[in-house]
Amino acid sequence: MRYLTFALTKGRLAKKTMDLFRRVGITCQEMEDPDSRKLIFTNEELGLRFFLAKGPDVPTYVEYGAADIGIVGKDTIMEEQRKLYEVMDLGFGKCRMCVCGPASAQELLRHQELIRVATKYPNIAKDYFYNKKHQTVEIIKLNGSIELAPIVGLSEVIVDIVETGTTLRENGLSVLEEICPLSARVVVNQVSMRMENERITGLLKELKKALE
Ligand code: PRP
């Protein structure tokens, strides 16, 4: 039997994913060791392989078939625009993609001013401002701590993930517009979906049952 390979998003999402997999009998002893720096794990009996990757790389591994299945946030799927099938919403990792900033930026948004938007998600920001709002903006790509941008005057607003809202609150910012809800999704390589259809659909059915 060929290994089915899973690409998991390193960090919190991987932990929640393994919790769910454990409930359907998919365990991976090796992965439980918190001190391990190992990147790939196998379950020989079930013919499964798991590896941990940075979120934005998960859709890449899946598109090229280096992983058959990926577990990744909807934000990353939207941003990366890879060719793959999004087959299931796992319902955890829930948060929202939002336009945020100081309250004073509300007016700039309303009047369609040419503002600067800092974000880790330039494609999502572009799609939202250009295609949905028909507002011309300047998009500035950052790699983290996006909330800094409006505080130090790099941009008027940001497009970022809001989970609890704590980061915004503690930095004097708030949600100005909501773009879309987010959560963890299962994505599948398009060829794997055909070649391994029975195994993959069987697995998805079990996951769905465990989530109910
Ligand atoms: C994310 C996001 C926000 C924060 C939102 O950042 O970019 O900064 O979490 O969560 P909250 O609403 O619960 O405060 P993350 O911690 O992933 O790191 P980053 O700043 O490097 O992107």
In the prediction, which pLDDT does 24 show?
Answer: 92
Q: How far is CA 190 from the centre of its chain?
A: 19
Q: CA-to-CA distance for 53 and 66, rounded, in angstroms? A: 12
Q: Is the CB of 174 under 6 A from ligand 1?
A: no
Amino acid at position 211, single letter: L
- All residues at 6 or more sequence positions from 200 whose CB lies less than 8 Å from its CB, including other chains: 4, 68, 69, 188, 192, 193
Report pLDDT digits (tens) over 123-132. 999 999 999 9
Report pLDDT digits (tens) over 85-113. 999 999 999 999 999 999 999 999 999 88
Q: How far is CA 107 from the centre of its chain?
A: 30
- Tell me, in angstroms, the distance from the centre of ligand 1 to residue 161's CA: 6
- Tell me, in angstroms, the distance from the centre of ligand 1 to residue 46's CA: 36
Residue 116 has pLDDT above 90, yes or no: yes
Which residue's CA lies nearest to atom 21 of ligand 1? 144
Report the atom number in ligand 1 closest to the C-alpha of 162.
Answer: 12
- Tell me, in angstroms, the distance from the centre of ligand 1 to residue 5's CA: 29
